[in-house]
Amino acid sequence: MSVQSENEQIKFPELPLITEDILSKAQASAACQTAEYTLAERKALLDKITKLLKQQDAVLVAHYYTSDDLQQLAEESGGYVADSLEMARFGHDHPASTLIVAGVRFMGETAKILNPEKRVLMPDIEATCSLDLECPADLFTDFCDAHPEYTSVVYANTSAAVKARADWVVTSGIALPIIKHLAERNEKVLWAPDRHLGSYVQRETGVDMLIWPGSCVIHEQFKADGIRNLKKEYPNAQVLVHPESPAEVVDLADVVGSTTGLIKASLNPEVNEFIVATEAGIFYKMKQASPGKIFLEAPSGGLGGTCESCLRCPWMAMNGLRNLAEVLETGANEITIEEDIRLKALVPIRRMLDFAREQQIAVKDKGNA
C-alpha cells in the first residue's frame, strides 16, 4: 500500500550535518573505553563496580548495542539489557534509587522523564545519536508550527525538548501499530526524524505522511547488493533487518523488527544461519541465546567495500567499564531535565505506553518492527 508522499512539495529545514569531526570526536572517546584491559584490570574494575552499585543503591540498565562486557555485567549484577523503552520501564519498576543508563543520551532522558524521583547517571553524557543531532528542537518546533494539520509522531531517538513538542512518541517496536491506529482515524502524520523507519511505516500503512529527512549513521550504510552476494554463499540464511535501514535493504528482509524483535526472530529453531542488518552489539544476545548458530554481519560497504568497523555506533561505544566505575565513584554525568519540558515530554510517552497496554502489545516482545 502506498500513498504519494507530500515530501516532494514540502521544504524541510537544513539539518545539522554529522561531520567527520563529530564522528572522530566520538570515536576518540570510545577508543579510551574500548582499549584492551589486562585480565587483572578487568577484574579490578568489575569488582569495584559491583561493590559501588550496591553501596549506591544503583542498578545498571544497558542497551543491546553496548559492549559485551557491559551487557554481561548488567545481567550478572541484577540489572537489565533491553531496548530503550524497556530500559525505561525496567528502571521505573526497579526499587533502586539510582539508575545507571548505559546507552545514548535520549535513553537516559527517557528514563529521567519516567522516573523523576530517581537519580539517572550515564557513563558518558556526551554519547548521543545521529537522529537526535539531526532533529534540533527549534527546527522541529518551527516545522510543526508550519504544518498544524498534521499529528506529530517522533521516534524515541530524540531529545526531551523534541518529545515535549510531539503528539506521540514511538519506538521501532510499536511504530507500525500506532501509525495504523492514526491511519484508521484519517490523521495525517508529521514523522521525525528517521526517514527510513518513516518510509517503512508509510509503505506498510498507506498513511499520508511528512517524513523528516534524518537517518542513523550505522543503519544507513547497509547495502542491498552486499546482502544479495552473501545470501548466495548462505542460501539458507534468514535476513534480519532493523527498519532504520534503507528501503532496498528492508525489501530483502525475512524479518523486519526492533532490536527485541530481531533477537526473538533469531531464536527460530528451524533456522541456523542469519544475516543481520543492525548495530553489531546485538550479536552478544543472539549468540548467548543460540550458541550453535551462525550470525553474519550484513555487509555495509557494498561491492568491494572495505569498511571494517562501520557497524559499531561510535556513541554507544563511549560506554565502558572505566567510565562506569568513575561515574559511580563521583556521581558525575547526572541527567537533569527542566520540569516543564519533562512534564510535556511525559504526555506523548505515556500515550504510547497506554496504547501498548490497551492494545495488549508487549512492546518488549514484539516480533515485527
Closest to ligand 13P by CB, 66 or 151: 66
DSSP 318: G
Closest to ligand 13P by CB, 56 or 243: 243
Torsion-angle region of residue 325: left (phi > 0), alpha (psi -120 to 50) or beta? alpha
Closest to ligand 13P by CB, 85 or 345: 85
How far, in Å, CA of 309 to CA of 281, rounded?
12
How far, in Å, CA of 346 to CA of 190, rounded?
19
Closest to ligand 13P by CB, 45 or 192: 192
Cell matching residue 260: 527485541
- State the residue for C-alpha cell 550484513: 298
Binding site for ligand 13P (CB under 6 A): 83-84, 157, 171-173, 216, 244, 258-259
Can you tell me whether residue 52 is helix, strand or coil?
helix
Q: How far is the CB of 38 from ligand 13P (least distance, A)?
A: 32
Q: How far is the CB of 104 from ligand 13P (least distance, A)?
A: 7
Closest to ligand 13P by CB, 240 or 325: 240
What are the Cα distances from residue 324, in Å, to 60, 116, 123, 125, 331? Answer: 9, 21, 5, 11, 10
Q: How far is the CB of 169 from ligand 13P (least distance, A)?
A: 11
Closest to ligand 13P by CB, 53 or 82: 82
Q: How far is the CB of 322 from ligand 13P (least distance, A)?
A: 23
Q: How far is the CB of 220 from ligand 13P (least distance, A)?
A: 11
How far, in Å, CA of 341 to CA of 185, rounded?
28
Q: How far is the CB of 84 from ligand 13P (least distance, A)?
A: 5
Q: How far is the CB of 30 from ligand 13P (least distance, A)?
A: 16
Q: How far is the CB of 192 from ligand 13P (least distance, A)?
A: 15
Closest to ligand 13P by CB, 226 or 243: 243
Q: Within the chain, how many helices (H) and strands (E) appear?
A: 16, 12
Residue 144, amino acid: C
Starting at the edge strand found earlier in the chain, the sheet holding 209-211 runs: 168-170, 151-155, 189-192, 209-211
How far, in Å, CA of 57 to CA of 214, rounded?
38
How far, in Å, CA of 90 to CA of 118, rounded?
13
Residue 124, amino acid: D
User: Of the candidates 178, 170, 164, which has an alpha carbon nearest to the alpha carbon of residue 337?
Assistant: 164
Q: How far is the CB of 9 from ligand 13P (least distance, A)?
A: 29
Instruction: Find the residue with minimal CB distance to ligand 13P.
Output: 83
Closest to ligand 13P by CB, 261 or 320: 261
What are the Cα distances from residue 83, in Å, to 41, 65, 67, 118, 368? Answer: 29, 9, 14, 20, 14
Peptide bond into 193 cis (omega under 30): yes
Closest to ligand 13P by CB, 110 or 238: 110
